């Protein structure tokens, strides 16, 4: 076992990462860390945390509703067919290197609109909130 204090910072995944509040590049709240992706290198046997996963299906999956979770994720993937990205891009997966500060909140170098956690926000906005007068202005002084 390597000496944990020798290099790099030490984190505990469930303690320091899971369920933390996420913020996008503009400081907007954009979901919690619902799960983490772990990738294992076959040759060296080393494992890495490679991505933050977040979105409705992801949370269901984590809470033991495996099939429901995967179905939700798949549905989300089909509905949002990565229009703005050339490479295949999963809206529930934020590569870990895009996580800037890790503290009481985790700041991501991502835009909310690229995240699955924001889809229902957009839906309620276009279908409900934007039909109610006064939705765009701040409250009166």
Partner 1 sequence: MKKVLGVALGVLTAIGGFVDMGDLVANAETGARFDMNLAWVVIVGVVGIIVYAEMAGRVAALCGRPVFDLVRERLGPRFGLANLLASFFINMLTLTAEIAGVALSLSLVSSVNYLFLIPFVALLVWLVCWRMKFETMERVFGLLGLCLLVFAVTVWKIGPDWNHLFSDATHPHVPHSETVFTYAYFGIALFGAAMTPYEVFFFSSGAVEDGWTRKDLGENKINVLIGFPLGAALSLAIMACTHLLLAPRNISVDQLSQVALPVASVVGRLGLAIVIIGIFAATFGAALETSLSAGYIVAQYLGWPWGKRGAPRTASRFHVVILMAIIGATLFGLTGVDPVKVTEYSIVLSAAALPLTYFPILVIANDPRYVGPEHTNGRFLNALASVYLVILLLVAIATIPLMIITKGGS
Partner 2 sequence: MTSTPRPRSTRIRPVEQRRPRRTAGRAALALVAVLAASCSEHSVGPARTYDDYERKSRTSAEVALSAVETVRLLAETSSDGNAWGAYTSVSLSEQEDTLAEAEGDYASIQPPDHRSDDLRVKLLDLLGTAADHIAAVRIEARRGNLDSLEQVARPLADDSAALQQFLDSIKR
Partner 3 sequence: MRISDLLEYSVVSADGARLGRVSDVRVIQDGPLLGGIQAAFRIDALVVGRGGLAERLGYIRGRVEGPWALRLLFSRLERRAQVVAVTDIAGWDEDTRTIRLIADAQRVRRTLEI
* Residues within the interface to partner 1 (CB under 8 A): 19-22, 28-32, 34, 54, 59, 62-63, 103-105, 117, 120-122, 124-125, 128-130, 132, 134-141
Question: How far, in whole angstroms, is CA 43 from its chain's centroid?
Answer: 29
> d(Cα 24, Cα 36) in Å, to the nearest integer?
17
In the complex with partner 1, the residue whose CB is nearer, 21 or 50, is 21
Length of the chain: 141
Q: How far is the CB of 105 from partner 3 (least distance, A)?
A: 16
Site for partner 3 in 33-52 (CB under 8 A): 35-40, 45-50
In the complex with partner 2, the residue whose CB is nearer, 17 or 110, is 110
Q: Which strands sit side by side in the sheet containing 99-102, from one edge to the other? A: 29-32, 21-23, 105-108, 99-102
């Amino acid at each position: 076992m390597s000496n944990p204090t020798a290099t790099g910072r030490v984190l505990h995944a469930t303690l320091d990462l899971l369920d933390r509040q996420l913020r996008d590049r503009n400081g907007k709240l954009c979901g919690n860390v619902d799960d983490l992706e772990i990738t294992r290198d076959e040759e060296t046997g080393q494992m890495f945390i490679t991505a933050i996963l977040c979105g409705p299906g992801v949370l269901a999956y984590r809470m033991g509703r495996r099939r429901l979770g995967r179905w939700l994720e798949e549905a989300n993937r089909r509905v949002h067919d990565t229009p703005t990205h050339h490479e295949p891009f999963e809206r529930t997966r934020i590569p870990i290197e895009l996580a800037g500060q890790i503290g009481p909140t985790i700041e991501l170098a991502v835009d909310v609109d690229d995240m699955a956690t924001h889809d229902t926000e957009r839906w309620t906005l276009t279908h409900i909130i934007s039909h109610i007068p006064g939705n765009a202005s701040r409250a009166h002084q």
